[in-house]
Chains A and B, each alone.
Chain A
Amino acid sequence: NAGVTQTPKFQVLKTGQSMTLQCAQDMNHEYMSWYRQDPGMGLRLIHYSVGAGITDQGEVPNGYNVSRSTTEDFPLRLLSAAPSQTSVYFCASSSTDTRGGNQPQHFGDGTRLSIL
């Protein structure tokens, strides 16, 4: 009963390095999204996907890249890490029921990222 799995849990990077945050869900959810959580700013949407092969930008997309080649996986790429990207990153997934109603969003445990 894994739900939404994020790896790694912690990471320290140097400015300019690149890395990929992994997110996988085993619930066959069509919707997946990435949020960052910062003190005083709350959680903000970075990128989201409504299905395999379809992604779009959220509120704070600059410096991040995503792709969705499968239903299960939605990796988030930092192209050239900057100190302003130090944050806690959460991946979420959800689906709709047979009548089109939204089901609750499920969140991973987060990745704590520090950029030096």
Chain B
Amino acid sequence: KQEVTQIPAALSVPEGENLVLNCSFTDSAIYNLQWFRQDPGKGLTSLLLIQSSQREQTSGRLNASLDKSSGRSTLYIAASQPGDSATYLCAVIQGAQKLVFGQGTRLTINP
């Protein structure tokens, strides 16, 4: 059974810092991996989708990498801002586009 782990569970950093969120998965037979953002009481917003054949994807200040052989993905956030405060979820995508989620990293950016 696929298991997805996100470390750390919570992270608090001062504004302007670069930071890395980690995601690991136990079964490398995945189609893709997707990173989401979730604000309190809200739904999930897609940040980046990495196809299994890709190594990384970039969008603005965000960069996500994928290493299937080691079962790891990282989300790099450059020059963090208070508006980046949210819970970040990673999910591996299996057959029929079924998602297996990690439990998330709750990020707080302090002004």
Contact = CB atoms under 8 A, between A and B. Distances in A.
Contacts of A48: 96-98
Q: B-side binding surface: helix, strand, loop or mixed?
A: strand
A50 B16 CA distance: 43
Contacts, number: 62
Contacts of B89: 42-43
Interface in B69-109: 89, 91, 93, 96-104
Given A33-B97, A94-B97, A102-B93, A109 B102 contact: no
Say which size band chain A's interface belongs to.
20 to 34
B49 A104 contact: yes
B28 interface: no
A74 interface: no
B44 interface: yes
Interface string A16-44: 00000000000000010101000011111
Interface of A: 31, 33, 35, 40-45, 48, 50, 56, 58, 90, 92, 94, 101-110
Given A35-B101, A105-B34, 12 more contacts: A35-B99, A40-B103, A41-B103, A42-B103, A43-B101, A48-B96, A92-B44, A104-B34, A105-B99, A107-B44, A107-B46, A108-B43
